[in-house]
Structure 1
Amino acid sequence: MFENVKQTSLLLCFFAVALVYLAHIPRSTTVNLDFVPINHSRTDINRALEFCDALNAPLDTVKDFSDRKRSDRYEHGTNATLVRNAVIWTGRDNGTEILRGSILLDNGIVWRLGSAYEHLIRDDDDVTIIDANGGWVTPGLVDIHSHAGIMSSPFTSGTNNAASPNGPIVPWLRSVDGFDTHDESFRLAVAGGVTTIQVTPANNNAMGGEAFMAKLRSTLDKTPTSMLIEPPCALNGTKPCKDFRWRHLKLACGEDLGSHGHRMDMIWALRAALHKARQLKTAQDTFCSEVEEGVWGGENFPDDLQWQVLVDALRGGVKTTVHCHEVVDLDAIVRLSNEFGFPIHSFQGASEAYLIPSTLNNTWQSETVIVLSATRHRSKRETYRGSEYAPRILANSGIPVAFKSDHPYSNSRYLLQEAQMAHYYGLPGNLALLAVTSIPANAVGLTHRLGTLFEGADADVVLWDSHPLRLGATPLNVWIDGIAQFDEKVADAEPQGSDRGVRPEPPNWDKETREALRWDGLPPLFPSKISTKVSFGRVKEVWTRSRRGEIEVLFPPSYPVKERLANVVVESGKIKCIGTALACLGSREASADIDLHGGSISPSFMSYGSALGLEEIASEPSTGNGVLYDAFVHDIPTILGDAGGVVRAMDALVFSTRNALVAYRSGVTLATSSLRKNVFAGRTPVIAGVSASFRTGFPHAMEQGAIVQTATALHISVGRASLLSSTSSVAVSEQMAGIRRLLMGWEDEKTETGLWFKRASEASSSSPDKHNLRGANEDYN
């Protein structure tokens, strides 16, 4: 009996020592399974450790990546392609490296770069050889903010998957689950050199869900999954995974969330969601500590499928992007970032970011990229202070800048134009190209394969017909994963001309940049008044209107450059002299008022059909004329006494609006403005009233010459209503029947409808006022 007691005591001592030992095991993912408590199986503990190992997996997607000989996206049977005689902008060395030679694409990757490799190709090799003839080659463009595939083109009822109506916080949604592979916008984007997009949920939810990176080519599988780049292992289940891949989360704030509450509501919703995620993260960390210390009680791993992506964001494993515009929103997100300790990898929209660069640099442990539109501002109140000089200001502050399309709100095909316009307004050329290639690729964690050309990179390549920063530059061919997206028969480039292959030099905008900052984005825009006579020096070309209204060039391009630099004198809106300083200025040594440095003079531009002077902010009703009655949908109020409800734009015209003054600074001196309103989620009335023509730079309507025509044209809009429209739909055939009746003269000419439809049917050039376009002075740019 005592022997049994002694043995029992020894056993108890043994277990006591064992427990003490387990309690002091250091934090590690390795546990001696011989000391696991007897009530847990080896399988259970292994399973628990798998979860904990996955939590602590290093954030490394590029391990051994550079050694690959074939892309994971390679499709069997793809020909190798050699593009020779090219000027190759690689995107390396901060966008300054330019190579001249060849680029060889094979196995879905860039195989060789820079030198000629014709001697490596045998006659029996299946290689497509393309002569670039001195043309420019760049990496494929990366569009970091697009809704292509989830807001499809053409737009139909079943393809609006961008925004959720189920509350402001829905981080568990995934854009890939609504991704339409038949979207025609993919081909449009590729036609503009875009090879990769980030498919983001819309801006209508504070946490809209996961975004995904996708290549814009049709795959053999023809599925959304096959278009994704490095999808996270969480995509196909909740099993623990050490093979780290970045996840991408979309947040938003500001005006677009108005249906869920105001700003304070949305920031609280974000804070509450982050707090819940932090609690879950703490529970997971506690679980792993207990497992590793040998005191695990057998509980399940504290997982929550709805919130795990947000937990991963707090752990730093998610590339988080936030769509915000104003300082108040940007500052609030930076505070949240520091409060909960998670990085923000890009601010998108960010119209006022250039006003607070120091604040953005204080985002939690991250280099934040600002994703902008170069010039598209003022469509909403929160974008009203956006500036075309913002990219340059941010770059000068050391903050990386990228550009976006926000497709379908702006066509992704024209993404490169954002870089071109930003370069024109002062962003250095190397940074302008980086802004649509390597900078967005870095923001999403994919620089090891996208955005830069190097041996081993994905074979996403664009061959351009001119320097990519020249307005109008067009891809001759695009390769995605080494697969040509255009007909190979048109791939060979024509020899590059002297101008087409040269990067354009932007004007000096130092003064305007300083003014933008001084006035918080709203500098005075009123034109400065000068005498009726002004002279221009070093003019390269003069374009003018002939008596027949045709445009003629007075300095033919065939003249040598030095000989066609001349002086030009304009007086009272008309050209008085073109020639030498002696002939035009009275002295060989005389200086002109304005030095054009080889620039050109042309007739000014005219805007037709826009809302200049009628609407300042498209989405802000208080700054516009209001919504017109549609006679095809509503009964026109009796007080108008007019069946068609025809109204005149002249009655709502406002001078000195910011949009009109910006247009004037850009060379648009004359505007014919219409009450027809372009709406994304609706349809303008069929009868859109009578337009008016005015001078954009004039301060008020009472100034002589400000009004050119009080009534210019009758505007009619025929089409189908948007599926998002809240108004009743009118059949196209009914619209045409109504217009036919009015043109046949069934309305009394004493009414506005009868009067203007009679004039339209007669194609009358007469006008009820004395203002007309004839005899107006020439305006010059």
Structure 2
Amino acid sequence: MEKSSGYLPPRKGIKRVKTIQFTLFLLAVLFYTLTVLHLTPGPPDDFKSRPQSDRFEKGTKPTLIRNATIWTGLDDGNEVIQGDILLDKGLIKKVGTVDEAILRSYADLVILDAAGSWVSPGVVDLHSHLGVASSPSLSGASDGNSHNGLVQPWLRSLDGLNTHDDAYRLSISGGVTTANVLPGSANAIGGQAFVIKLRPTAERSSSAMLLEPPFSLNGTHVDPFQRPRWRQMKHACGENPSRRYAGTRMDTQWAFREGYNTARKIKEKQDAYCAKALAGQWSGLGDFPEDLQWEALVDVLRGRVKVQNHCYEGVDFDGIVRLTNEFKFSIAAFHHARHPPAIAMFATHARYKREASRGSEFAPHILADNGLDVVMKSDHPVLNSRHLIYEAQQAHYFGLAPNLALASVTSTPARIMGQDHRIGHIVEGFDADIVIWDSHPLALGATPKQVFIDGIAQLDKPYTSVKPESAQQVPVTPNFDKEILDTIKYEGLPPLEPEGVDSNLVVFWNVGSIFLKNAATGSISEVFTSAVEDGVLVFEDGRVVCSGSLAACPDALSYSDALYLDLEGGSITPALVSYGSTLGLTHIAGEASTNDGPVFDPLSVTVPPIIDGTVIKAADGLLFASRDALLAYRSGVTSAITAPTSGGFLAGLSTVFNPGAAHKLVDGAVIQEVAALHVTLSLSLGISVSTQIAALRGLLLGEGEGDVAKRFGNVVAGKIPLVVHAESTDIIASLLVLKKEVEAAKGNSIRLTLAGATEAHLLAKEIGQAGVGVLIEQRPYPSRWERKRLLPGPPLTQFNAIATLVAHNVTVGIMVADSSQARNTRFDMAWAKLDSNGALTRSKAMELVSSNVETLLGVVESNSDLVATRGGSDFEGKTIAIISSRQGKVFEFFV
């Protein structure tokens, strides 16, 4: 057979060519695979030209928003334009002027006239536990923390994401469109976080909520040869992992180092493998070194993960910085912190534990002034993320520039989580996530008129309240220069003790309005207001001797020996009264050694014989000069009512005290030793509600002994109110029946007040007819089952619970659950008025936080103090003085 002349037979040749081609293909794949390990994350190069969003829902109609005042987020948050916004295919297609030819191309265009309303990007929450710490809190519904080790980078919040969390709808109604869902902070490395859009999807799955998963988890394609998507991971240092694992900071830091060292070894093996492969050194190469447990931490070392670090204190920041220097990786943001790099923080929520004891409301301003990125976060459900915009509003009130304040919940968190190529701005090509507001987003009580996520309207027939024209402007920030300097000087703990002025004659002038309380009836009236004439108030020898116009007080500006205080058009109003928190019984909530502590519950534990039958008095455990109390005083709260701390049925007797007093022996420190008797009826007490009702019935009908019988006898005799903390409609209904039963048996009317009362609106008519009062939070949240049926108010419902109860002639007072928020009582009052749709005048709103609270809690002598606020409205003015008739002096603050 004749040999071939130098070429292979055709069939064998084709086979060999294919083999070579396949080998070359595999080498190319390997080359790209090895190279892609070193690519930094980011969107594909053609991302900005995408014709539709990867999250577009078929059937979504295009929408044109006309006549909007648009905060785009561009120009460092300073750009505001007037115009239109076209939404289509889940994207923002046009901003500003939209060509009519484009509009004519749409046959099914939905047109929405914003009528000049402010429009912002959707609110972005950098730190949330939505879906993993679900509401209401039920068994099996909390997946925030693992207790199986300090370092667990392999865990994923996605795997615990509940699609039936009641908070999604509420948060959307507050303008929140995107949230970074983090694992909890019980671990040094708690696991991987995932960014979600809050809207329900057609698939109704947790995977379908993901914004940009790092892998093909929700049906979207991830090209392995392109830059990867950003990943998120939760770290925590300091007290949380130390406490929960009974270790120390040293234990936590070693766990970090050990985990990162494991990841480092894997990374180095991978890099060595790649180097050999790319150099053609195939002999003995073996399998690519990897470990599924540690691959996410290896990605941290490769710079492909945004590390979100729970951290508070300098020692912990320093430890983390040492860790990043040792293992060469970076931190995206410190959460809760008051120090660099990017900072995610609360506005005024502080002092809940030692690490937060130096928290300052001026931190956002101070950090921004030092060039640091500021993010306001919710830590939902620590704070209800529905009101994340309120955190930005408070940050602005305390000095953060308006462009940075609004950016702190939109563009800045989007950038920090690596998503600022698609969310956080109103820019052509970005996701169609926008909010139409009923007022300027930084105005107190700003409420969405509509929220779009991926171009889909989220609010069905939204309700809005009538807002004043002034609410359409950026609120004016008071001058806090002195306070800011002191905050820096004293490292977060400036002196707060009030000091009385030396003069016995003080004249407040340039007053815009004066409100006074009728001591006999408790009603509050506006006695002076004028747009053209200045008002005055003269306080001499411990009492108000003249107030109103200059014509009514002709000598007011001619005193030679008076101290004159210019209010710059501000107000003088009755002092505020706080109830509902542990104010006066705690310094740092999470530190037992700084608190009065809880009382024994006679229904669940054995009470020591020495106090068996005794009703505990809060007055005996008062702790004065706490920072929360002093901050509340400086904000106009000059009397507070607190009951003994209890997690059970019988709390005890509340007391009325002056939060500005230095100690109990100061004259007027304890205003009223005993105010009301407090009990709790709840589904969460660990004993049946029927047992609780039976116990209360017996006590009211005289079955108690000793001091217990005496105190409940005082309730039946109408001498003191009975305050029952009850949230559930069913429990409230049983209480109304019990009240009628006891009154029939005893022949006396009982003064019953419901506290908490989240579901009271469902029985508003019956509560009003029974003459029962209600103490309720301004912003309730469905944390437990018995709070599930709350009335959220605009934009979800026309009225909130306060307005509904007032409409049924119920005496209503506003309460706060957290002592750090007592300082914001004035804001709660103003917000209640704004949400009432005109049902509350300013005078009636003031009664919600003063005389009504006193009436409902049995205060005998009404608070006669006045508060002087300099400049602006309730969210622009600054408290500069307390005019105390009770103490006969004026207390001046940083004037």
TM-score normalised by the shorter chain: which range applies?
Answer: 0.7 to 0.9
Query: In the TM superposition, what is the alpha-carbon distance from 1:239 to its structure 2 partner?
Result: 11
Is it true that 1:144 corresponds to 2:133 in the alignment? Answer: no
Letter in 2 for 1:754: A
Distance 1:766 1:574 in 2: 32
For residues 214-233 of structure 1, the aligned pairs below 5 Å read 214-233=196-215
Q: Partner of 2:194 in structure 1?
A: 212
Mean Cα deviation higher: 397-406 or 77-86: 77-86
Match of 1:507 in 2: 478
Matched, 1:259 2:259: no
Say if 2:604 is the partner of 1:620: no
Q: How does 1:130-529 map to 2 (within 5 A)?
A: 130-233=112-215, 235=217, 242-257=226-241, 258-260=243-245, 261-296=247-282, 297-350=284-337, 352-353=338-339, 360=340, 368-487=341-460, 489-490=461-462, 497-529=468-500
What is the CA-CA distance between 1:425 and the residue it aligns to? Answer: 0.4
Greater shift, 387-396 or 609-618, is seen at: 609-618
Q: Whole-Å Cα distance in 2 between the matches of residues 125 and 238 of structure 1?
A: 34
Indicate if the aligned counterparts of 1:101 and 1:115 stay in contact, CA closer than 8 A: yes
- Residue 779 to residue 151, structure 1, CA distance change in 2 (3 Å): same
Give the 3-state SS of the residue equivalent to 2:125 in structure 1: strand
**Normalized against structure 1, the TM-score is what?**
0.86
Structure 1, gaps ≥5 residues long: 1-32, 354-359, 361-367, 678-683, 722-727
Moved more, 388-397 or 250-259: 250-259
TM-score by length of 2: 0.76
Look up the equivalent residue of 2:575 and give its one-letter code: S
Q: Secondary structure at the match of 1:542?
A: strand
2:656–2:671: 8 Å Cα contact kept in structure 1? Answer: yes
Cα distance, 1:658–1:46 mapped onto 2, change above 3 Å? same
Gaps of 5+ in 2: 1-15, 723-857, 869-895
1:375-774 → structure 2 map (5 Å cutoff): 375-487=348-460, 489-490=461-462, 497-530=468-501, 531-546=503-518, 547-556=520-529, 559=530, 561=531, 563-571=532-540, 572-574=542-544, 576-580=546-550, 583-587=554-558, 593-642=564-613, 645-676=614-645, 684-721=647-684, 729-748=686-705, 751-765=706-720, 773-774=860-861
Displacement of 1:395 in angstroms is: 0.2
Distance of 1:113 and 1:238 partners within structure 2: 29
| CA deviations over 1:732-753 (Å, ceiling 9, x no partner) | 22111111111111013xx221
> Residues of 1 paired with 2:701 and 2:440: CA distance?
54
CA deviations over 1:455-489 (Å, ceiling 9, x no partner): 111100101111111111111110000000012x4
Contact 1:215–1:229 (CA under 8 A) maintained in structure 2: yes
Larger deviation, residues 646-655 vs 477-486: 646-655
Counterpart AA for 1:657: S
Q: Is residue 708–residue 773 contact of structure 1 (8 Å, CA) maintained in 2?
A: no
Q: Secondary structure at the match of 1:597?
A: coil
Identity %: 43
CA distance in 1 between partners of 2:466 and 2:664 (Å): 53
Is structure 2 residue 59 aligned with structure 1 residue 90? Answer: no
2:573 & 2:105 partners in 1: Cα distance? 55
Q: Describe the shift of the 1:238–1:69 C-alpha distance in structure 2 as closer, same or farther (beyond 3 A).
A: closer
Give the corresponding residue for 2:56. 74
SS of corresponding position for 1:143: strand
Are positions 1:55 and 2:37 aligned together? yes
Q: Tell me the CA shift for residue 575 of structure 1.
A: 5.8
Q: Structure 1 residues 313, 591: CA separation in 2 closer, same or farther (over 3 Å shift)?
A: farther
Q: Aligned with 1:446: secondary structure?
A: coil
Cα distance in 2 for residues equivalent to 1:109 and 1:573: 63
Detail structure 1 runs of 4+ shifted over 4 Å in the superposition.
40-48, 116-120, 234-241, 493-497, 588-592
Give distance in 1, aligned partners of 2:533 and 2:172: 40
Output the amino acid matched with 1:639.
I
CA contact (8 A) 2:505 2:563 kept: no
Contact 2:273 2:285 in 1 (8 A): no
Q: CA deviation at 1:772?
A: 5.9
Distance in 1 (CA, whole Å) between partners of 2:471 and 2:863 is 36
Shift of 1:568: 2.3
Per-residue CA deviation, residues 522-572 of structure 1 (Å, 9 max, x unaligned), is 11101121134322222111111134211111234xx5x2x1432222342
Shift of 1:584: 4.6
What corresponds to 1:14 in structure 2? Answer: none
Q: Which moved more, 1:381-390 or 1:706-715?
A: 706-715
Quote the offset at 1:87 in angstroms. Answer: 0.8
CA contact (8 A) 2:638 2:865 kept: no
Equivalent pair of 2:511/2:572 in contact (CA under 8 Å): yes
Query: Deviations along 1:165-217, whole A, 9 cap, x unmatched?
Result: 10111100000011001111111111111000000000111000000100000
Paired with 1:291 and 1:666, the residues of 2 have a C-alpha distance of 68
- Aligned-partner Cα distance in 1 for 2:468–2:662: 45
- Given that residues 676 and 685 in structure 1 are in contact (C-alpha distance below 8 angstroms), is that contact kept between their aligned partners in structure 2? no
Q: What SS does the aligned partner of 2:528 have?
A: coil
Corresponding residue SS for 1:555: strand
Q: CA RMSD in A?
A: 2.6
Query: Which stretch shows the higher mean deviation, 236-245 or 287-296?
Result: 236-245
Whole-angstrom distance in 2 between the partners of 1:238 and 1:139: 26
1:60-109 deviations in whole A, cap 9, x for unaligned? 31521211221111111111111112111111101110011111111111
Task: Name the amino acid aligned to 2:328.
Answer: G
Aligned-pair CA distance for 1:302: 0.3
Q: Cα distance 1:239–1:170, how it changes in 2: closer, same or farther (>3 A)?
A: farther
CA gap of 1:116–1:528, structure 2 versus 1, over 3 A, is farther
Structure 2 equivalent of residue 10 of structure 1: none
Q: CA deviation at 1:763?
A: 2.4
Which stretch shifts more, 189-198 or 291-300?
291-300
Deviation at 1:158, TM superposition (A): 1.2
Aligned equivalent of 2:867: 780
1:673–1:692 contact (8 Å) kept in structure 2: yes
